[in-house]
């Protein structure tokens, strides 16, 4: 899962980004509204954390432009303002949720998890596919209750496929959501990670859809 953090306070931006990375996310950073808008316009993100008070272009203008351009990624808005009218303006502009400063980073992480789950159609913090259970809160996965030992890339791959269960996901899409903007991306590595993940899962849940990509679904669904 790939997150964009747009916050002009360098220390806060770093704090949020570090916490997200520790939770298993890939993170891109921007420090003003114009840069943030450009990244959100040109790169695919599973969620965006957006400060309302930004230089160059304020957060409300950023999210308004994205929505006008047809960008639908979930947006969590940060605001230091106490006026309810500013919060309403952010939601009306297209933000999906907001957190008022000062806040606990754990709250931001929880809200980001919820936004990503809802965007993918999941209501619970646990996503289940056959014997595989993904705990989005703890960033852990199990098979029949036994913890899986996964590398960071393998976990990101599993998480993305499980969030999009039943859907065909292309190699390009996986690469775009597993690596940050500065990573030297190679879609051929996805096949390697899929192979490793299949072995560790020990169950046939990841289907190769020839010419299109991969699809993860429970055995009963795969048999239909």
**From start to end of the chain, where are the E strands?**
2-6, 26-30, 47-51, 75-79, 97-100, 126-129, 132-135, 140-143, 146-147, 206-209, 213-216
| CATH no. for 126-222 | 1.10.10.10
Residue range(s) occupied by CATH 3.40.50.2300 in the chain: 2-119
Residue range(s) occupied by CATH 1.10.10.10 in the chain: 126-222
> pLDDT over 70 for what percent of the chain?
93
Q: Which two tokens stand for residue 57?
A: 């272009």
Query: Is this structure's pTM higher than 0.85?
Result: no
Q: What average pLDDT is seen over the chain?
A: 90
pLDDT at 3: 97
pLDDT at 224: 45
Over residues 95-112, the pLDDT tens digits come to 999 999 889 999 999 999
Average pLDDT value for residue range 120-132 = 87
Q: Which range has the worst mean pLDDT, 85-89, 150-154, 199-203, 216-220?
A: 216-220
Q: Do 114 and 74 contact (CB within 8 A), yes or no? A: no
pLDDT at 223: 45
CATH superfamily of 2-119: Response regulator (3.40.50.2300)
Give the model's confidence band at 159: pLDDT under 50 very low, under 70 low, under 90 confident, else very high.
very high
Give the model's confidence band at 185: pLDDT under 50 very low, under 70 low, under 90 confident, else very high.
low
Instruction: Provide the CA 181 distance to its chain's centre, in angstroms.
Output: 14
pLDDT at 216: 93
Average pLDDT value for residue range 36-60 = 96
pLDDT at 187: 63
Asked if the model's pLDDT at residue 198 lies above 50, the reply is: yes
pLDDT at 122: 83
């Amino acid at each position: 899962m790939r997150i964009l953090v747009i916050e002009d306070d360098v220390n806060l931006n770093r704090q949020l980004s570090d916490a997200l990375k520790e939770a298993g996310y890939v993170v891109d950073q921007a420090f003003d509204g114009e840069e943030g808008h450009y990244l959100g316009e040109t790169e695919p993100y599973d969620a965006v954390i957006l400060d309302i008070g930004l230089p160059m272009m304020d957060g409300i203008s950023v999210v308004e432009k994205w929505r006008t351009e047809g960008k639908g990624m979930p947006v969590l808005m940060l605001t230091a303002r106490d006026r309810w009218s500013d919060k309403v303006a952010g939601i009306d502009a297209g933000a999906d949720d907001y957190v008022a400063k000062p806040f606990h980073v754990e709250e931001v992480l929880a809200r980001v998890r919820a936004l990503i789950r809802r965007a993918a159609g999941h209501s619970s913090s646990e996503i289940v596919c056959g014997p595989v259970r993904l705990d989005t809160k703890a960033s852990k996965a199990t098979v029949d209750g036994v913890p899986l030992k996964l590398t960071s890339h393998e976990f990101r791959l599993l998480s993305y496929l499980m969030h999009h269960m039943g859907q065909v996901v292309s190699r390009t899409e996986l690469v775009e959501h597993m690596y940050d903007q500065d990573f030297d991306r190679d879609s051929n590595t996805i096949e390697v990670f899929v192979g490793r993940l299949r072995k560790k899962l020990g169950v046939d849940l990841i289907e190769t859809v020839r010419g299109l990509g991969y699809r993860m679904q429970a055995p009963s669904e795969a048999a239909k």
